[in-house]
Amino acid sequence: MAQQKPTAALPSSGLGLSGIARAQRRFPIWLEPYIDLVQHKPLATFGGAVMLIMLFVALFADVLAPYDPVEPNMAARLRAPDSSHLLGTDQLGRDELSRIIYGAQISLFVGLGAVLIGTSGATIIGGVSGYFGGKVDTAVQRVVDAVLAMPALILLLAIVSVLGPSLLNIVIALSFRAAIGESRTIRGAVIGIKENQYVDAARAIGSSNLHILVHYILPNVTAPIMVLASVSLGGAILAEASLSFLGFGVPPPAPSWGGMLSLEGRRFMIVAPWLAIAPGLSLSLVVFGINVLGDGLRDVLDPRLRGTRG
């Protein structure tokens, strides 16, 4: 009977399987979903690039804009795109490119402000409603039902009509609608999480409801909150443009993208089509980019969808 040759023992690294996995990891674990986003989600990567460009344009509008966006110049009225005005001029001779650049500031301010306030409000409303349940949940959800029963645009018009058209009031109106609408999604996530054993253990050791909500519930609903925020950003920008288009948005002569498409400029768009093309394409591109970025974030942050590609 042949004898087996003794095999040399491999030197032990002392790391174990988990240690080896950590040693082989190239990025921090919290960064891995976003690396996966860049590697496997080309549309979402495009959306992220659009958002970065918009942020850059909004922050450096004073440097990038070649002309004053609100100063009329009747000598250059309705000039077609040329070397001195790359996107042409409007009916008052204002440079369209400069107004598009400064309009990014307004859209970004309204969008980020509405998302920040609205998502924070939705987290509080949905968290309290889902965690406490019972009569608290019933009372909160009946109010949510009443608000959601109103068409979104009608509700926004009513709020802005009462408060008056201004940049801050538009943010308030959009934040209120977002807080109510998004609270349903966060409530559902909280209801699923509060049944876990670690929440029961926290109650058993005497943790307060506020402590449980902040330290056990909130960290586990961060992913849906981020997805909601990214998706609602595009909706907020589009809603601001709709209000400005109807004359309830940022008062002129502020260069809002929706305002550039409103009645003031529509009378001249047949003879000067660039008045509609520039703001329309800017609005469409930004909203599309934000939406595909939100879809990509949902795929990489939701464990059930993490294996998808596209």
Stretch among 21-30, 90-99, 148-157 having the lowest mean pLDDT? 21-30
Percent pLDDT > 70 in the chain is 84
Query: Is 8's pLDDT higher than 60?
Result: no
- The count of other CB atoms within 10 Å of the CB of residue 220 is 16
Tell me if 307 is assigned to some domain: no
User: CB of 286 within 8 A of CB of 216?
Assistant: no
Tell me if 237 is assigned to some domain: yes
Tell me if 249 is assigned to some domain: yes
Query: Is 253's pLDDT higher than 90?
Result: no
- Collapse the DSSP code of 250 into the 3-class scheme (helix H, G, I; strand E, B; otherwise coil) and give the result: coil
With tokens 């054993």, the residue in question is 197
> pLDDT band for position 41 (50/70/90)?
confident
User: CB of 82 within 8 A of CB of 146?
Assistant: no
Query: Is 257's pLDDT higher than 50?
Result: yes
Q: How far apart are CA 69 and CA 172, in angstroms?
A: 26
The confidence score (pLDDT) of residue 190 equals 92
Query: Is 137's pLDDT higher than 50?
Result: yes
Residues 223-242 have pLDDT tens digits of: 888 888 888 888 888 888 88
The confidence score (pLDDT) of residue 248 equals 85
CATH number at residue 217: 1.10.3720.10
Query: Is 255's pLDDT higher than 50?
Result: yes
Q: Mean pLDDT, the chain, as a whole number?
A: 83
Query: Is 45's pLDDT higher than 70?
Result: yes
pTM score of the predicted model: 0.77
Q: How far apart are CA 201 and CA 151, in angstroms?
A: 43
Tell me if 72 is assigned to some domain: no
Query: Is 97's pLDDT higher than 90?
Result: yes
Tell me if 78 is assigned to some domain: no
Tell me if 100 is assigned to some domain: yes
Q: How far apart are CA 273 and CA 26, in angstroms?
A: 51
Q: How many domains does the chain have?
A: 1
Q: Which residues constitute the domain of residue 251?
A: 33-61+87-301
